[in-house]
Amino acid sequence: MSERPHLHRNRQTLSLSLDSSLIQSCMSLSDPDELVLDYTRTMMGCLLLNPAPRTVLMIGLGGGSMLKYLYRHLPDADLTVVEINQGVIDMRHDFHIPNDDARLRILCADGAAFMAKPPHAFDLILVDGFTGAGMPEALCSRSFYQRCRDALSDQGVLVANVQAETTQSRTIGQRLSKVFEGAVIHVESDEGGNDIMTAVANRLLIDDAASQFAQRWKDLAPAHQQTLAVTSTRLERALLKGRRAP
């Protein structure tokens, strides 16, 4: 990966971009663990489906916003991050990303190649890998998502951040639907431009979360409720739409 990451700082935030003007990640300088961008908060909607994933894989590090959130709020989770760009990894301390330890490891590797031989099953897979030009084709193929599906545990959840309303996003949605036999929901970010696609290994996860949304919400940790407050209505609407007809 030859693209050079660039840092942009103002009084409130530190942002990351690659060889384009597209902002890849944004951190609040006053609260480095806050999820600033709505699409990252929306991706955390996966916690309504599986509130306590024990094994998490992230493809794409960026500024580490979601990684820091999960590291802080899911202390029992084992976290693996695969990032293809060593330059991005080298900026981890600028973004207050914790050092590797017994439950966190950041690997410089190709995410698609990693999925060809994953080390174990995962309860949660987050796909947020972009270049300056957009989402690489290797993270869009049906074979990639089939490998993700094969690597999920029985209660596993896959969440992919995809550019909204593009030919590529429609193709990815079709591929996910085929691989996961229709067990997919879509939630657009409040900022626009991001379609958060969530797929599950067990269709009942969507059905149960839709029918028991109020209780699932009540059972969430207060930190998660605060994070998901703005997107909760969109999440509930998507779950109800994705639920099988009774």
- For residues 155 and 199, what is the distance between their CA atoms, to the nearest angstrom? 11
Q: Is the dihedral of CA 241, 233, 68, 154 positive or negative?
A: negative
**Dist. CA 126–CA 32, nearest whole Å:** 20
Distance of alpha carbon 28 from alpha carbon 48, whole angstroms: 25
128 is catalytic: yes
Q: Are strands 55-59 and 13-17 parallel, antiparallel or unpaired?
A: unpaired
Which is catalytic among the residues 38, 110, 123, 128?
128
Residue 134: left if φ>0, alpha if ψ -120 to 50, beta else—which one? left
Strands 122-127 and 55-59: parallel
- How many CB atoms are closer than 10 A to CB 8? 12
Closest by CA to 131, choosing from 22, 6, 13, 8, is 22
Give the single-character DSSP code of 101.
B
152-163 vs 122-127, strand pairing mode = parallel
- What is the set of active-site residues? 128
